[in-house]
A and B are shown apart, each in its own frame.
Chain A
């Protein structure tokens, strides 16, 4: 029981919310927001209490100290998203659907937790599907908006396709090794042509989820159409979970063909970072902008995986944690401004600092963190990732990545330029954020500063990670 405590707690609050919703009169539905957030906070805190680890269901489900930490990181991201979406859920058109939102969101989170903790490809696939299908419903949440419905359809089609590809790859893995358990596939996976083919299909499926080039085409459209909070959830928690399990699988199951997948990653990293950045430069809509920036960030995450060491794995986890806080900070600002004014393009942000200085400062610090400027945490995350790749001797790759950070700095500065440097005749009017939005942004800012300056976080992560050899 306690081994599976994260998932069980989440299931418990999902059920509670479902029951409460049934008995709540229609005009009181918005009062569910605070209890839901409080329950999630309780789950988040309970998750940090050390508990037993081990395997269940004959090895289909496993958890270790590392996996517990990964689940906690995912919980943090989901919690901040829940806090940030309170303002949006209070809008009249969403009032009817508040509990649905929470239930769908929590189901995807449960799916991700099962996926991260899977010990078997079947469990992994089930978790992946549970994580993906409710997301499509969430993307289409504002169903009377054409774009939102479009986003939902695009997400479900592309994820169905990618799941199909992934499953095809897994079937080859099963066919050649005769087992689905990670612990047994690993030794049997020696790199025969069919196995390599299976791996390629598997990797392509995962690349869809993490939105790596050339499997990134759905990202921008879905992020643009979906509600802002869902886009932020997609870009941090969903992507983070996929990156975690990919790291674990590459390091354990596919460790025997490390030479091959590191070559694949080498090319994919260059493509992802460069194309993501170059497309981001041209974007006017901030959601599309952040979508392409998140594609580029995904490329940076892989940089740690290619390091192939305990340290490389630690940097991946650390970077995802930093990225959760930074990206949610940026998305939080976009979300509140979009809710209150409907403005979503960079030009709308002209002169934001003069009317809403706090939001502009938060946005700037988050973007600096994404760009990797000290003293915020993004700098440490990027530096460590580069160190992980350099440790493996890949100086040319690091150089390309570093040059790309300058490109990314350029487009992040474009937003900062709009907010701080430009003046506007019709700036976004001054408004007061509600309690939950402020709380969400303060959490992000605290994270952005604290994770970098206090080395403890990284040391804990490094202590739990393991390497390829």
Chain B
């Protein structure tokens, strides 16, 4: 038995524990215990993974386990990890751990809240460890559907509308994915032999080009919906703004990464020929997305909307880098996913905490908050600086890698796209600094804000965990980048086989 199975078993056990908990406190502590176990497990996984690699184990997939599930369809329950998925699992466990503490003051139906939240995380963990397309898709849908209840019941603002919009758009995306997966399955053995959903096996098969051209858009757009691909990003601002704190964290921090990871792992990896041909269409879209998201954020007055649009911009950058299809840019894409995941989770956590104290999210009604809540204020500045790509934080490492990678292309089209996308950094700086200035500096505008209490212990745990993540990556990016590179090598080999080699 592979110990990766624990990543699904622990959330399920936690949910069962929550079901039998009697009081509000018991529910929360069960959740904390469960998710701490996940965090420790993720730490162990990274350690074992690095140890195995250091010991010279060069297998593409480590800790794999393969069980036959539906025999006559050749569906397997096949799990395993490479460097990229290990990194994503680390990200997920950090964000969900912080998310539990950030939702410490949920009072309405806490049992159901934590159950849905943890089920969602189970779906995400399952997605990252699956190597069989069927189980991958199954976990993908499990991760998406609890969002409806989470936003609809515990959200704010036009929550019914947002929840419905988000669910339908994401499930619409998953409908496209389903068609794409069926296409992959039925083309997985062009030379005869059993059909398979096995991701690694399909990647070794040359799928006929007509099929690639037909199915690539379905897969890329399908995953792209969740990855906030312009123009399918519109669920994101509404959804994030209406969602409760922990859900925004988890959603922007982790769930949107499912989209990026899916585009990289399924669409581009398995259909590299079509990816080379059609990348230009999606490159234009993602370039627009990067700029559009950044400018969108400038005009918003609601803190959550600002951050949601900034997420659109940053996630578009992930897809942008994936489409560059060279190792440096891909590495940057994964780094950006992790960096943005932690960073945006931090932002949403802080916004939730600020909102809980000021009862407003409109920046015009706030001011001088640094004086009354220095801890949260400083944390917000740190998050902001990471977001605009200051060296020393994770954002810089990721964006730098992406732009270096994408500028390696010699042709005008790629370079123009890169320059346009890179200019979003300036726009990002504008809105981040503007918000920091209005929100934290200056005089206190509302006298009631003088009575605000700074972060409580559970807020601090949540915030400190995330800041540690950002700075750890920013200060010592090499171990992470090596781990990711390690996972990327075999992937890149296959992608490059299908297209022109770019140096």
Contacts and interface: CB of A to CB of B under 8 A. Distances in A.
A387 B171 contact: no
Interface string B175-207: 110110011011000000000000000000000
A68 interface: no
B503 interface: no
A455 B175 contact: no
B394 interface: no
A263 interface: no
A208 interface: no
A421 B175 contact: no
B149 A387 contact: no
A409 B160 CA distance: 15
Interface stretch (B138-146, B228-236, B429-437): B138-146
Contacts of B159: 421
Interface stretch (A234-242, A279-287, A391-399): A391-399
Contact of B153 (A311, A421, A462): A421
Contacts of A391: 186
B185 A387 contact: yes
Given A387-B182, A409-B168, A421-B160, A458 B152 contact: no
B70 A373 contact: no
Interface string A331-375: 000000000000000000000000000000000000010000111
Contacts of B152: 417, 420-421
Contacts of A375: 138, 142
Contacts of B172: 403, 406
B168 A387 contact: no
B72 A417 contact: no
B183 A462 contact: no
A384 interface: yes
Interface in B140-177: 141-142, 145, 148-149, 152-153, 159-160, 163-164, 167-168, 171-172, 175-176
A405 B179 CA distance: 12
B48 interface: no
A374 B179 CA distance: 16
A457 to B, nearest CB: 10
Contact of B145 (A373, A399, A458): A373
A284 B171 CA distance: 24
A403 B72 CA distance: 27
B186 A409 contact: no
Size class of the contact patch on chain B = 20 to 34
Query: Among the interface residues A368, A421, A455, which one has the most CB atoms of the partner chain B within 10 A?
Result: A421
B70 A413 contact: no
B142 to A, nearest CB: 5
Contact of B182 (A386, A409, A416, A420): A386
Interface residues of A, number: 30
A390 B183 contact: yes
Contacts of A384: 73
Contacts of B138: 374-375, 379
A386 B153 CA distance: 33
Interface string B316-333: 000000000000000000
B104 interface: no
A374 B126 CA distance: 13
B71 interface: yes
A458 B183 contact: no
B20 interface: no
Nearest to B77: A455
Nearest to B170: A406
A434 interface: no
Contacts of B70: 455, 458-459
A229 to B, nearest CB: 30
Given A455-B69, A459-B72, A398 B179 contact: yes
B179 A417 contact: no
A409 B179 contact: no
Contact of A398 (B141, B145, B168, B182): B182
Nearest to A458: B70
Contacts of A417: 152, 160, 164
A420 to B, nearest CB: 6
A128 B171 CA distance: 40
A383 interface: yes
A390 B168 contact: no
B148 A374 contact: no
Contacts of B142: 374-375
A395 to B, nearest CB: 7
Contact of A373 (B141, B179, B182, B185): B141
A441 B168 CA distance: 28
A410 interface: yes
Contact of B164 (A383, A413, A420): A413
Given A375-B142, A390-B186, A409-B171, A399 B71 contact: no
A275 interface: no
Contacts of B73: 384, 387
Contacts of A406: 168, 171-172, 175
Contact of A413 (B69, B167, B175, B176): B167
B145 A390 contact: no
A402 interface: yes
B164 A455 contact: no
A156 B172 CA distance: 40
A458 B71 CA distance: 9
Nearest to A407: B168
A455 B178 contact: no
B172 to A, nearest CB: 5
A403 B153 CA distance: 26
Interface in B342-390: none
- Give the one of B139, B168, B214 with max A CB within 10 A: B168
A420 B167 CA distance: 15
Interface string A257-285: 00000000000000000000000000000
22 contacts: A368-B145, A374-B139, A383-B178, A386-B179, A386-B182, A390-B185, A391-B186, A402-B175, A402-B176, A402-B179, A406-B168, A413-B148, A413-B167, A416-B149, A417-B152, A417-B160, A420-B149, A421-B149, A421-B152, A455-B71, A459-B70, A462-B72
Given A375-B142, A395-B182, 13 more contacts: A368-B145, A383-B134, A390-B183, A403-B172, A405-B175, A406-B168, A406-B171, A406-B172, A410-B168, A421-B152, A455-B70, A458-B70, A459-B70
Interface of B: 69-73, 75, 134, 138-139, 141-142, 145, 148-149, 152-153, 159-160, 163-164, 167-168, 171-172, 175-176, 178-179, 182-183, 185-186, 214
The 8 closest A-B pairs by CB, nearest first: A421-B152, A402-B175, A390-B182, A455-B70, A374-B138, A462-B72, A374-B141, A406-B172
